[in-house]
Amino acid sequence: MQPVDFTTLTAACDELRSDWVPGRAEQVYQRDRYTIALCLRTLKHRGWLTISWHPQAARIYLGDPPPRTPDTFTFSDQLRHQLSGLALVSIELIAPWERVLDLQFARRPGDHVSYHLYVEIMGKYSNVILAGGDNVMITAAHQVSSQQSSVRPIQTGQPYEKPPALMGTAPSLDESLERWQERVSLVPGALQRQLLKSYRGLSPALVRSMAQAAGLNADKSTETLSASDWQRLFECWQQWLQTLGIQNWEEGFKSEPSTVEGSTLQLGFQPGWTEQGYTVMGWGAVQSAKNVQTLLNDYYTAELNQQEFNQLHHQLTQKLGNVLGKLRQKASTFQERLQQSDQADQYRQQADLLMAHLQDWQPGMKSIELLDFDTAQPVIIPLNPEKNAVQNAQLLYKRHQKLKRARHAVEPLLQEVQGEIQYLEQVEASLTQLDAYKSSDDLQTLQEIREELIQQKYLDSPDQRNREVTDVSVPYRYRTPSGFELLIGRNNRQNDHLTFRTAGDYDLWFHTQEIAGSHVLLRLEPGTVPDEADLQFAADLAAHYSRGRQSDQVPVVYTKPKHVYKPKGAKPGMTVYKHERVLWGHPQQGSNYLRKEVAL
């Protein structure tokens, strides 16, 4: 994930100053442990200023409104108490080339500053600190004790101190090419490393894009650069410094250069956010953005969504695997006990046989061989030598009764466990489909799966706040060969919604037969009849979005939605059906169609 560097921070603040200062602070909301949103209102518009001290994604920009969930964080409560109703009158850097902002608040523009909100965008040391007009710290997102840092402790009640001064030379437009080249090439090494060591205000992303703009490889040694290489690079260097002075930003998404030096090949903007970063200088940009705020909001929202998606997917996959493993072990134990109960009648027959031949028993016998009533075949009956024949028969009768009772007790338990396994395999099938992050709908679908597992008591709630699901994910949508709409549920919530709310009287409902998978709905208008190709298309995709997607062919049933029912007390996504017909779905055909659609 590309961090916000000095250039990006300068560009973002320039836009904020021109459009949102002065602006009245109306509300403060904390999205998570690292991010707050400050609602600003000006004479022209209203928006939410996102401020984050995330270790990998510290940032500040105008972002999306926060969700409609309760905010129970104490940090935002303190900010809300101090800043609500005040005006944001200034956004300033506390020192040249520093990535620390001073957001100043007063009762109205022109009045004495009442509060300073210091936003420190410094990687893993990022922080947000509120200080009064006297510069005494009131609260901080992350307090640092003197035991944690003797250089710069951060504690309430103490004066705010600036971070330690930056090392390195400050870039200047007055510096000549010869002096600049001498400083960078004084110690031979990779161009990127030498620039970062020699000057302040640079970042790896900026140096890479600068080198790319000059037709160079940032990893190339300074010893191998020609005079023309240095000249082109210096021109880009001066362009950067001039842009910092006049704030003429050309923001856009960019890609990494190819491994061939000087190549102009660039990767396009892909749905999966596979590009390597962004630029506010216009170097290497392959897709422009409306402004810096939109650029940063889109980039970091997607990157953090992908990060959360990967973590949540791993968490849910591990949890489901553990729970399913335990349930399958329990089912195996119950099945073994049922197999043992199948021998109940055998014990009763042995007891009857022993009671009919009491005269053949002798004291101290460990077993007795008798002829079976029906087959006349010899039967060996184990005996307890310390008990007589009648007592041994009573033991056999008791074992018979115990195994019969076990069957009546175990059968409903086994049925319940098998129902849980079937349900969790359905959830597992939904997780398998979500193998990679492509859009915000993927994360929303995954979050709905988590909420469902919490409601079903398979997961503990991560916090005690009452979460309200405001966004609803959408199902997959495809077109059959004849142009009919095909909807495919991505989780149990969508499956139930498709089957019992979306489905109409003329539609057709598809599902893999006795295999966990998605509910598939073929939408049909009154009087329309799908072709065989449409039915096969739906069956192939139903097979693809199921646990049988690795098979050559999978049985798929289809019927009218009115013949699909949810049993009383059934878990989400679980249904029964009747009047079904069967088709053979081919998962590979479904996969081939999806690849063609992506290519188109």
Mean pLDDT by 10 residues, the chain (600 residues): 92 92 94 94 94 94 90 93 95 92 94 95 94 94 86 90 86 93 91 93 91 91 93 94 76 53 30 60 78 91 92 94 94 84 75 85 87 83 88 85 79 89 93 88 92 91 53 86 94 94 94 94 93 95 93 95 92 93 93 67
DSSP for 198-249 reads: HBSS--HHHHHHHHHHTT--TTSBGGG--HHHHHHHHHHHHHHHHHHHHT--
Question: Is residue 430, in this structure, part of any structural domain at all?
Answer: no
- Give the pair of three-digit tokens for residue 539: 């069956």
In order of 46, 216, 233, 452, 514, the CA distances from 546 in angstroms are: 46, 49, 54, 19, 11
Measured distance CA(449)–CA(430) in Å, rounded: 8
Same-domain status, 130 and 189: no
Given the structure tokens 């990127």, which residue do they identify? Answer: 192
> What total of structural domains would you count in the chain?
4
Written as one letter, the residue type at 497 is H
**Does 65 sit behind a cis peptide bond, omega within 30 degrees of 0 on the bond before it?**
no
Cβ-based burial of 439 (10 A; exposed 0-12, middle 13-18, buried ≥19): middle
- Give the pair of three-digit tokens for residue 43: 């004479």
Same-domain status, 120 and 215: no
Q: How many residues does the chain have?
A: 600
> Where a domain ends, among 380, 396, 419?
419
Question: What sign for the dihedral angle of Cα 200, 201, 204, 208?
Answer: negative
Same-domain status, 18 and 123: yes
Same-domain status, 283 and 351: no
Helix ranges (DSSP H) in 247-343 = 292-341
Residues 6+ apart with CB under 8 A from 381: 350, 353, 354, 367, 368, 369, 370, 392, 396
Residue 522's closest CA among 465, 581, 573, 453? 581
Q: What is the pLDDT of residue 288?
A: 79
Same-domain status, 184 and 78: no
Q: What is the pLDDT of residue 266?
A: 29
Question: Is residue 109, in this structure, part of any structural domain at all?
Answer: yes
Given the structure tokens 């329990």, which residue do they identify? Answer: 330
Q: Which residues pair with 51 in a beta bridge?
A: 36, 60
Count other C-beta atoms under 10 Å from residue 573's C-beta: 24
Question: Is residue 172, in this structure, part of any structural domain at all?
Answer: no
CA atoms within 13 A on the CB side of 377: 2
Measured distance CA(120)–CA(52) in Å, rounded: 9
In this structure, which long-range contacts are made by residues 298-304, counting pairs with CB atoms below 8 Å and at least 24 apart in sequence? Answer: 299/2, 299/253, 300/1, 300/52, 300/57, 300/59, 300/61, 301/63, 301/64, 301/440, 302/273, 302/440, 303/1, 303/57, 303/273, 304/54, 304/57
Same-domain status, 96 and 10: yes
Question: Is residue 494, in this structure, part of any structural domain at all?
Answer: yes
Question: Is residue 105, in this structure, part of any structural domain at all?
Answer: yes
Q: Which 3 state secondary structure label does DSSP give 414?
A: helix
Cβ-based burial of 487 (10 A; exposed 0-12, middle 13-18, buried ≥19): buried
Do residues 46 and 98 touch, judged by C-beta distance below 8 A? no
Our CA angle for 318, 323, 326, nearest 5°, is 125
Same-domain status, 365 and 275: no
Measured distance CA(495)–CA(379) in Å, rounded: 57
The values of phi and psi at residue 221, to 5°, are: -70, 145
> Where a domain ends, among 140, 157, 186?
140
User: 531 — alpha (psi -120 to 50), left (phi > 0) or beta?
Assistant: beta
Question: Is residue 458, in this structure, part of any structural domain at all?
Answer: no
Q: What is the pLDDT of residue 255?
A: 56
Measured distance CA(185)–CA(181) in Å, rounded: 6
Measured distance CA(47)–CA(360) in Å, rounded: 98
Query: Which secondary-structure segment (H or E) carries 534?
Result: helix 532-544
Measured distance CA(565)–CA(236) in Å, rounded: 67
Question: What sign for the dihedral angle of Cα 367, 370, 374, 375?
Answer: positive
Question: Is residue 160, in this structure, part of any structural domain at all?
Answer: no
Q: Return the CATH number at 32.
A: 2.30.310.10
> Where a domain ends, among 386, 402, 419?
419
Same-domain status, 132 and 184: no
Count other C-beta atoms under 10 Å from residue 273's C-beta: 18
Measured distance CA(386)–CA(255) in Å, rounded: 86
Same-domain status, 278 and 373: no
DSSP for 119-185 reads: EE--GGG-EEEEEETT-BEEEESS-B-TTT-SS--B-TTSB--PPPPPPSBPP-TTS-HHHHHHHHH
Same-domain status, 32 and 92: yes
In this structure, which long-range contacts are made by residues 505-509, counting pairs with CB atoms below 8 Å and at least 24 apart in sequence? Answer: 505/560, 505/561, 505/562, 507/560, 507/561, 508/535, 508/538, 508/558, 508/559, 508/560, 508/561, 509/558, 509/559, 509/560, 509/561, 509/563, 509/564, 509/577
Query: Which secondary-structure segment (H or E) carries 90?
Result: strand 87-93
DSSP for 42-75 reads: -SS-EEEEEEE--TTT-EEEEEPPPPSS----HH
Question: Is residue 225, in this structure, part of any structural domain at all?
Answer: yes
Query: Which secondary-structure segment (H or E) carries 522?
Result: strand 520-522
Same-domain status, 32 and 91: yes
Same-domain status, 13 and 135: yes
Q: What is the pLDDT of residue 249?
A: 61
- pTM recorded for the entire structure: 0.79
- Domain range enclosing 220: 177-288
Residue 25's closest CA among 47, 52, 53? 47
